[in-house]
Copies of this chain bind each other. A is one copy, B any other.
Amino acid sequence: MIEQLKFEILTIGNELLIGKILNTNAHWLSRRITNLGGRVTRIITIGDDVGEISSTVRDCLARKPDFIITVGGLGPTFDDKTLEGVARALNLSLKVNSEALNMVKMKYESLGRARGEKIELTPARIKMATLPEKAKPLTNPVGTAPGVLLETDGVTIICLPGVPEEMKAIFEDSISLIIRGKSKLIFCEKSLRLEGIYESDLAPIIDQVLKMNPRVYIKSHPRRGEGGAYIELHLSTSDESLEECFRVIDVTASEVKKHVVERGGRVTEIPIGE
């Protein structure tokens, strides 16, 4: 059986820790990576602190995932400390990267032309092109700060900006291709709505079904909808072949259905995305 690529996501920003914003970036990335056949093993949120960033990156590296993706802290302001933290974690120095500087310069030239003014390359702007040695900048098709890619000891570190549109654009343009190139697995899933059965009575059924289908991941979620309480049962798996992927999910869903109906419950399928 082929091993899934392992990912750790590190979202950086005090605004997440005070509950000012919801971490939609981690959610989007997890979903996208899962659908590309990868496996997110951990999501960590820390504040804008160089010491915290560097020690956390070291902890991530020690667990030897295939990828570490950081989100946030690449901008021009004083609280954007991600690259300083990553450089410290790897004992690398920070240098102006000529390719990145060119990207930043071109952004401000084009912005300047549009506004009919010359925009200076201030230290704050040059900071966005100051990367750890050996890092490669990734084009940001939406904003100014380039993404950053760094290979170290078998782990690929990718740093993305925290603005959701920029994070997504760099991911789709540069990262999804790298993941597809390295991954050989396809992900598929199915959700069932179960009524007329307690979650605690479902436990032994799932145990039994899982014994027969150990590669399927099943999770039950108690829900409350318009028609009253029900259980959403989510089934997922991944495989090299799309056909095999769906076959395994369908067989497992049928077995769950059989057992639940035998106990007087009802089962319907919930379209994915609802």
Contacts and interface: CB of A to CB of B under 8 A. Distances in A.
Contacts of A34: 17-19
A20 interface: yes
Interface stretch (A44-52, A91-99, A170-178, A250-258): A44-52
Contacts of A59: 59
B30 A18 contact: yes
Nearest to A143: B222
A199 interface: yes
A41 B46 contact: yes
Interface in A23-78: 23-24, 26-34, 39-48, 52, 59, 75-78
A234 B20 contact: yes
> Taking each of A43, A59, A79, A206, which has the highest tally of chain B beta carbons within 10 Å of its own beta carbon?
A43
Contacts of A90: none
A220 interface: yes
Contacts of A214: 20
> Taking each of A22, A59, A202, which has the highest tally of chain B beta carbons within 10 Å of its own beta carbon?
A22
* Size range of the chain A interface in the assembly: 35 or more
B77 A15 contact: no
A1 interface: no
A169 interface: no
> Taking each of A28, A33, A124, which has the highest tally of chain B beta carbons within 10 Å of its own beta carbon?
A124
A13 B220 CA distance: 11
10 contacts: A15-B234, A17-B41, A18-B236, A19-B30, A19-B32, A20-B234, A23-B27, A43-B44, A124-B201, A124-B204
Interface of A: 13-24, 26-34, 39-48, 52, 59, 75-79, 119, 122, 124-125, 143-144, 163, 198-204, 206-207, 210, 214, 217-222, 234, 236
Given A15-B219, A16-B30, A44-B45, 9 more contacts: A18-B31, A19-B27, A19-B28, A19-B30, A19-B31, A19-B34, A20-B214, A78-B206, A79-B218
